[in-house]
Amino acid sequence: MRRLFAFLFFLSNLSIVFAQVSSVVTVIPQPVQAYVREGKFELKADTRIHFPQGKPDWATAAQYFMGVAQAATGFQLTGLPFQTTPASLRENGIYFLPDETVERSEGYQLEIMPTFVAIRARTAAGAFYGAQTLRQMFGPNMGSSTPVKDSTWTAAACIITDYPRFPYRGMHLDVSRHFFPVEFIKRYIDLLAIHKFNYFHWHLTDDQGWRIEIKKYPRLHQIGGCREETLVGHATDAPPRFDGKKYCGYYTQDEVREIVEYARKRFITIIPEIEMPGHASAALAAYPELGCTGGPYEVAKTWGVFEDVFCAGNDKTFEFLADVLKEVCALFPGEYVHIGGDECPKTRWKACPKCQKRIAAEKLKDEDALQSYFIRRVGEILSRHGKKLIGWDEIIEGGLPAGATVMSWRGTEGGVAAVRAGQYAIMTPTSHCYFDYYQSDPAQEPLAIGGFLTLQRVYDYEPVPSTLIEEEARFILGAQGNVWTEYIPTPQQVEYMAFPRACALSEVLWTPANKRARGDFLRRLRIHFRFMDNMGVNYARSYYDVKASYNGGYVSLSTNDAMAQVKYTLDGSDPKPTSPGMYSPIPLSKSTTVKAAALVDGKFPGRVLTVHYLVHKALGKPYTLSAQPMQYSGGEKYALTNGSIGALRSWANWVGLQDADFDPVIDLENTTPIQKISVNFLVGTGHLIYPPRSIEVFTSNDGENFTSAGKRDIRVDELVGNRIETVSFNLGGVGARYIKLVARRYGPAPKTGDKTWLFLDEISVE
């Protein structure tokens, strides 16, 4: 208390004016509290970095800052260890100071004065996070890995008090579907460290590849580390296509140790994932005796869920896993090992005599209970090595093993069930945390697995379910962003899919909920983009994407960035800085191609939006539907008559109904001669989007009595894969005010019996 009083007295004598979270603090994630003062601290070639002697972790934090600062500035900074905390701080010094009065273990206080900088923390981890904040305070050029010439290195004077909201702040990377070199894994870890993540979930094994060397079982990487070829295009494409190229890769144990040590120096704990009992094709290809049928098995060359899994009735399976996990535990010093536990079909177990014998001998209820037995035995293996088990939320099925931590990915239910059982949960639902999903208009994005997760939706995520009371909420450790790589073959594409969504998640996990503000985050993100530019990060620029909407004969264009100006053309050419700006809605009098892009600081950082508008007699006309779309409404009030046809991968532009017929009635508002009516429908059988059985058109003058004007039966079994189909009807100039179109649903999907979707877009009338 005496120290705090003296510190405040010192500040008051400087006549410093404080301002809460000023615009000069552009750090991501947002600090808990920031007060700005007059003046700046300048980093110079002779600035000294002071840190405590005999504390290796503190030296690591200080040396990390020295390294990144030297890389960007070209200065050869000097580090000076001290034996006792200095009573006064010298001019032109940056100090890393242990301070037991800092309450939070990962918290810090950053004091930037015109004459010195002090980072106070209780732990070296807190000091490291303070150094990351200081790095950003020096501006975007501090992200450069090569010296930036003619740059002045100043940071605004301020006091920042900061600590994380959650103890678990994670990012994941799947290296099984696609393998990434050691240098990129290190770069990925660096990107996580900048954003104050403290866990890296390394998904090392799956059906498509075993990526870690196990000395006792060399065939795991020799055979399991290679697949014969890889799927080209989407898994739902029919027929499937392959590249014909053998695909191999694994990390040696020496490389794993190198990466673990690299992460340790950035205060990141690596959690290895060894998948079991499902997603085991690669392991079974190497050691077929561990499966229920004995094989032969192959390393999967397609994506999905496979029926061949580890045999739960075979004691050799558990001997194998004990040996594997012994080596894994020795490589990773963290407290957690992830064992997967997800998407494990029970087909083989139901037919396997050994598994059925195990169920009987252990008096288990069914195959779900057998999975729980399996997970429990693996948990016992890990506990012998002093490790804790983490699994995906399927480990709850059949009974949650005691002491296990649940990663809740299929919504929040798994996490809620875990905490109500008194066990910890990490939230990672597909709705907010799956960064392999599309992040912008799929029609303009690289091929992805599907889904749709925008930057804004990630930022709006609340990891603690509202159904939990305060006592239960403490069992939510945090959350994690997942990067599954079926459709992410290169390091550049990993960066594109992960960032800037990981920036948003970092703030969700670090900053207090009541301090978060989307508008302010976007302001800071625009500056942070320059920091990542200097790092050479291939982040997605969908933040600058332009959106178009149609209403009442006019097109409006908008973008997320309030500082950006939307430029557009109507002649098919790309926008230029001199093109017209979007100041008022654009009238549509004829069929037009609108191209638009966001202009920022004289440049177009995002993509060019291209929308083809078809002007026809039903454009903008109102219609009614007896069954209302819920999830897929087309994004606009009159999506079926807005003049724009949905794209193949842009489901958001289509109007979709599940297990229902389409029957829009369009009011042309006056009796109108009609020559032709056309309607488009989407086929995506792999996503349960099926063609209609038939389409019939009716006309009416009073809206009550309709006359059929034509019908088309669709040969649905010939329409597979992903495609757009158009059906047209020639009416020969018949006059009508109302048009009714009836598209009859396909019905249950073949083989599975699942409910199917019917997607329609743009009903054009000529």
DSSP string, 396-454: GTT-PPTTPEEEE-SSSHHHHHHHHTT--EEE--HHHHBTTSB-S-GGGSPP-SS-B--
Identity of the amino acid at 254: D
Identity of the amino acid at 428: T
- Is 528 one of the catalytic residues? no
Q: How far is CA 7 from CA 93, 682, 694, in A?
A: 18, 67, 79
Q: How far is CA 627 from CA 105, 363, 624, 632, 740, in A?
A: 55, 49, 9, 12, 14
Catalytic one among 279, 338, 528, 616?
279
Asked if the peptide bond before residue 277 counts as cis, ω within 30 degrees of 0, the response is yes
Give the whole-angstrom CA distance, residue 528 versus residue 264: 25
- Is 46 one of the catalytic residues? no
Place of tokens 């038939």: 694
- Is 279 one of the catalytic residues? yes
**Contact 229/246 with Cβ under 8 angstroms?**
yes
DSSP string, 253-282: HHHHHHHHHHHHTTT-EEEEEEEESSS-HH
Q: How far is CA 39 from CA 2, 20, 24, 691, in A?
A: 27, 16, 12, 67
Task: Label residues 247-269 b or e (16+ Cβ within 10 Å = b).
Answer: bebbbeeeebeebbebbbbbbbb
Identity of the amino acid at 612: H
Alpha-carbon torsion, ordered 362, 368, 371, 377, to 10 deg: -40
Hey, how many other C-beta atoms are within 10 angstroms of the C-beta on 422? 10
- Joined together, the tokens standing for residue 95 give 């100090």
- Joined together, the tokens standing for residue 188 give 């990925």
Catalytic one among 57, 343, 368, 667?
343
Give the whole-angstrom CA distance, residue 503 versus residue 527: 12
**Contact 503/403 with Cβ under 8 angstroms?**
no
Chain mean position to CA 94: 36
Give the whole-angstrom CA distance, residue 445 versus residue 464: 31
Catalytic one among 106, 206, 441, 495?
206
Give the whole-angstrom CA distance, residue 699 versus residue 740: 6
Residue numbers annotated as active site? 206, 279, 343
